[in-house]
Amino acid sequence: MIEAIGVTKTYRTGSSEVRAVDNAHLHVHSGEFILILGRSGSGKSTLLGMLAGLIRPSAGTVRFKGMDIGILSDDRISEIRAREIGFIFQFSGLLPTITVLENVLVPSLFYRSGDNCRSRALDLLDTVGLSERTAAYPRTLSSGEMKRAAIARALINTPSVLIADEPTGDLDIDTEFEIMELFSRLNREGMTVVMVTHNPDLVPYATRTLGMDRGMLSERFLSLHPGNGSSTGTGNPP
């Protein structure tokens, strides 16, 4: 589905160079639920951005369904993002000037997966428990509600892969559980999920867990579970 081959991303700040992602190799297979675990600043979001075609790698190649997205036109990459990828930001990423329902409908401006987007948007909002908040503006929502609205928006075009950047970062444990259950259900229904988090408690939801530390991606991950101290391990599917 998605293949990252030796991708590197460096940023220049003044005279120094920051290597956010360093020679990462990753093959995401269809139907997988991949969890990338790492500390804040380890390069997880940058890697996700490159997988989604939002960030151009400094070196290496990202392939989506066999296509090298580095050589595709902007229109083509945008089309892939609109129809194939559901992206969930670390923050809610809702547009503040429009309502929850309208936010969910925004991706239908770029690609329409069916005739009745509005009906599908309402169904999705019902699924994430926001059927009563369709006309609300993002500023009136709680963090959990904003995150759930963003998930509904990511699913509006029935993408083949869901890429989520710390989707449960600032949520209470109950909301985190609901969202992870939803991701798990979507994965069981066939959707590929790639998610980054710094919460090792979420490892059981994944079919494969990877670790990221100082830009380096590895099959081994550093457990950050409080109370357990730091330890290393490998991903354990639930």
Which spans of this chain sit near another protein (rule: CB under 8 A)?
Answer: 11, 18, 20, 40-46, 48-49, 52, 54-56, 74-75, 78-79, 81-83, 87, 89-90, 93, 95-98, 102, 105-112, 115-118, 121, 153, 157, 165-166, 196, 198
The nearer residue to another protein, 78 or 184, going by C-beta atoms, is: 78
User: What does the alpha-carbon distance between residue 209 and residue 37 come to, in Å, rounded to a whole number?
Assistant: 7
Nearest distance in Å: CB 37, another protein:
12
User: Is residue 183 within 8 Å of 176, Cβ to Cβ?
Assistant: no
The nearer residue to another protein, 178 or 211, going by C-beta atoms, is: 211
Distance of CA 125 to the CA centre of its chain: 19
Total length of the chain: 238
User: What does the alpha-carbon distance between residue 107 and residue 128 come to, in Å, rounded to a whole number?
Assistant: 18
β pairing state of 231-234 and 220-223:
antiparallel
The nearer residue to another protein, 152 or 178, going by C-beta atoms, is: 152
Nearest distance in Å: CB 3, another protein:
20
The nearer residue to another protein, 80 or 182, going by C-beta atoms, is: 80
The nearer residue to another protein, 178 or 210, going by C-beta atoms, is: 210
User: What does the alpha-carbon distance between residue 153 and residue 113 come to, in Å, rounded to a whole number?
Assistant: 13
Nearest distance in Å: CB 191, another protein:
17
Q: In this structure, what token pair is assigned to residue 169?
A: 């970062």
Nearest distance in Å: CB 113, another protein:
10
The nearer residue to another protein, 11 or 27, going by C-beta atoms, is: 11
Nearest distance in Å: CB 189, another protein:
22
Backbone torsions φ then ψ of 142, nearest 5 degrees: -80, 170
Nearest distance in Å: CB 38, another protein:
8
User: Is residue 21 within 8 Å of 8, Cβ to Cβ?
Assistant: yes
